């Protein structure tokens, strides 16, 4: 798994159910795997695990090790400081 950060505060879909969770800009996550490809937005969708959720994240449905689906445009590689595409 590689480490990444969220580039924009927004609600993300949880994996496996129809609920959402708030992830803030700068929130640390670990990329678990590639979930699929979004043909409309023409980018990959990744399954990511939440690491050390903020209080706002916890108050809006987030928790440690929660799986969320994140589009590549909202991910920034922590090592390279580049957007993942």
pLDDT in tens, 1-29: 689 999 999 988 888 877 888 999 999 89
Specify the number of domains making up the chain: 1
Q: Say whether pLDDT at 80 is over 70.
A: no
Q: Which residues form the domain of 33?
A: 2-77
- Section 63-77 average pLDDT: 90
Residue 84 falls inside a structural domain:
no
Count CA atoms closer than 13 A to 11's CA, side-chain side. Answer: 8
Residue 6 falls inside a structural domain:
yes
Where does the pLDDT of residue 82 fall: very low under 50, low under 70, confident under 90, or very high at 90 and above?
low
| pLDDT at residue 21, as a whole number | 86
Residue 85 falls inside a structural domain:
no
Residue 11 falls inside a structural domain:
yes
């Amino acid at each position: 798994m590689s480490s990444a950060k969220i580039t924009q505060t927004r609600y993300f879909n949880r994996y496996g159910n129809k609920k959402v969770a708030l992830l803030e800009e700068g929130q640390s996550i670990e990329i678990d795997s590639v979930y699929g490809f979004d043909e409309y937005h023409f980018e990959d969708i990744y399954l990511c695990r939440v690491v050390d959720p903020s209080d706002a994240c916890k108050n809006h449905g987030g928790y440690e090790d929660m799986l969320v689906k994140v589009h590549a445009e909202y991910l920034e590689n922590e090592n390279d400081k580049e957007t993942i595409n």
